[in-house]
Amino acid sequence: QTGTGKTGAFALPLLERVEGPVKRPFVLVIVPTRELCLQVARDFETLGKYRKVKVAALYGGNGYGAQERTLRFPSPHVIVGTPGRLLDLVSRRTLDLRGVSVLILDEADRLLDLGFIADVRRIAALLPKGRQTALFSATITPEVDAVARGMTVDPVKLSVRPEQPTIDTIDQAFVKVLHADKLRALREVLSRKEASRVLVFRRTKRGVDKLAQDLVRLGHPAGALHGDIPQRARERVLEAFRRGTLSTLVATNLASRGIHVEGIDHVVNFDLPEDPETYVHRVGRTGRAGERGKAVTFVTESQQREFLELKRKARVPFHQERLAIYS
């Protein structure tokens, strides 16, 4: 379930072990994306504030200098990193993993989807054999299960079944709209009084850029987020969205996992999600941890069959809304 403090579930017990400065990190968290890396590191810092925990976030897209400085004595207690950057720093001999006693694989299904498992295995081979390993995944496919069993000894499998799935806290609507009217339809949604912080999803990076530019041109404070935007620019956009300087964020599916911004009241599927899993992860950015949220999915004239298939597979209680632009 999204928004329930999964990071805290593994971070809090580990932070209990922090007792003063250390020579080497003892916790390694491997994550699939830069955004999740920053989020998990931030959570560790927040939870470990009064234990004076030192956390290093190691990810690509930025220079080595600042990250390598965080690895100097006293060593970080916790390393959160993406696979490629971790291996780079090991090869540069600035990251010493010999003291790691706990390995966490966060969002293992995404690590697998993005082709990082070979790198993860290389990193695991560098760690002490007596370490504890924990793997977290939204879905346990046969492939994820094989990875887990290959990296653990007699693992215990825990499956969390929430009393109230996140999806139940979200009002889920679909809107039939002509392709040519999608921008007008979005403007109508954004004009709603209750739509104060809105996350809009598109399928392509080019589509994200164009829609964000169109919204800004029409007077809506909007930003864009996708993988081709430089890391520092992405961080600035996310921070502006968190603060409320930007009321609308247009993003690719990149943002549907690992981006935890409180108070998102609307998610708009400007482009239809590719599959039920993508739909669930997109709309899961609102209605988090019991809060109410709204998800609006645009369905064009050529997408009726595709939408019906999504509705059938996702088993979502959609209801239809009609827009004022068609009244």
What's the confidence (pLDDT) of residue 257? 64
At residue 1 the predicted structure's pLDDT band, cuts being 50, 70 and 90, is: low
**CA–CA gap between residue 124 and residue 138 (Å, rounded):** 21
What's the confidence (pLDDT) of residue 165? 44
- Predicted TM-score of the model (pTM): 0.61
At residue 114 the predicted structure's pLDDT band, cuts being 50, 70 and 90, is: confident
Mean pLDDT of 297-315: 91
Q: Give the residue numbers spanning the domain of 305.
A: 166-326
> Highest mean pLDDT range out of 79-88, 102-111, 225-234, 249-258?
79-88
Q: Which of 106, 121, 151 is the C-terminal boundary of a domain?
A: 151
| Total of domains in the chain | 2
Task: Provide the CA 27 distance to its chain's centre, in angstroms.
Answer: 21
144 and 64 within one domain: yes
Q: How confident is the model over 241-285, as pLDDT tens digits?
A: 999 999 999 999 876 665 678 889 999 999 999 888 888 888 888
User: Which CATH number is 62's domain given?
Assistant: 3.40.50.300
DSSP-derived secondary structure letter, 271: S
**Concatenated DSSP letters for 25-52?**
--EEEE-SSHHHHHHHHHHHHHHTGGGT
Place of tokens 């959609």: 318
145 and 216 within one domain: no
